[in-house]
Amino acid sequence: MRDEVTLGPSGPARAWFSRRTSHWRDWPAPALLSAKRSRGTRISVVIPARDEEPTVGGVVSAVRRALMDQVPLVDELVVMDSDSADATAAVAARAGAVVHRCRDVGPALGTYPGKGEALWKSLLVTSGDILVFLDADLTRWGTHFVTGLLGPLLTDQEVHLVKGCYDRLRGADATDGSGAGGGRVTELMARPLLNLHVPELAGFAQPLAGETAARRALLEAVPFPVGYGVEIATLLDALAVCGLDGLAECHLGTRQNRHQRLQDLSVMALEVLAAAECRADVDLRGHGEGVRGQCEQPP
């Protein structure tokens, strides 16, 4: 057991923050297009979705219009549909995405419901050297999310993964918290866990952000948990593979998505803790097989 509890970013985390954080305004699309062409880089945008009929069309159409039709920065736009019971797939296709049903991708590999499966199987149906992941439930956002995430990757070959961070806009149904910070699961679970056990990552404002971009080579080198723990697992695994200086974070401005019930967040928090326990030597006492199952990786 440690005698001291880390309460904030360590010296290395503060130094990393000064080197590896940026703002989306630092990365104008025309300059990124020039960098993309000079390196011959191919870019894929992937949107994992499950029952997101009300919002997925807006996300898809905005990316297609701004970053494929107006500025040809994105080469392919893919929605990974995780067995939606609504019209998510049809809406996404009409908006201009190529839609894949997760269970139909690599059927011989089995199906593992959850966001991790959508991210993992997207590697089987995309060809980008860099993949940008966007959530499908965004309601207040902008396509600068994509350019902000791409900027460090297109301009610095030493960067392998970029996480987004943002100021959250509270929805009408939000009854707790404020616009600052990383959300309830981040502030009550992920951040304390990282501060205590992996303090070099304490500089990340929102380690669980769904908006992430990474090089294919890195994504193919790390395992993917199949549940909500995929975000923290990828961050921890990327640290192990490419070191702290291979990671970056970009401030994407403001963001709003649909507010989730506290009961749903409890499940998410459990999966985050279980995924981290498998990687960071966190001592979970008395956990059962249901928790341990969240650590299982698809083949």
Which CATH number belongs to the domain containing residue 110 in this structure?
A: 3.90.550.10
Spell out, as residue ranges, where the chain has pLDDT lower than 50: 1-7, 172-180, 282-297, 299
Count the domains in the chain. 1
3-state secondary structure of 42: coil
Q: Is residue 115 part of a domain?
A: yes
- Cα-to-chain-centroid distance, residue 257: 14
From CA 236, how far away is CA 201, in angstroms rounded?
A: 8
CB 247 within 8 A of CB 238: yes
> Residue 8 has what pLDDT?
55
- Could you list the residue range(s) of the whole structural domain that residue 257 is in? 20-282
Q: Is residue 5 part of a domain?
A: no
Q: pLDDT by residue (tens digit) across 208-231?
A: 888 999 999 999 999 888 777 888
Q: Is residue 7 part of a domain?
A: no
| Number of alpha carbons in the 13 Å side-chain half-sphere of residue 91 | 20
Strands 43-49 and 130-133: parallel
Q: Which residues contact 37 (CB under 8 A, 6 or more apart)?
A: none
CB 214 within 8 A of CB 21: no
Q: Which residues contact 42 (CB under 8 A, 6 or more apart)?
A: 75, 76, 127, 128, 129, 130
Q: Is residue 10 part of a domain?
A: no
Q: Is residue 293 part of a domain?
A: no
Residue 39: CB atoms within 10 Å: 13
Q: Is residue 11 part of a domain?
A: no
Q: Is residue 298 part of a domain?
A: no
> Residue 208 has what pLDDT?
84
Q: Is residue 201 part of a domain?
A: yes
Q: pLDDT by residue (tens digit) across 88-100?
A: 999 999 999 999 9
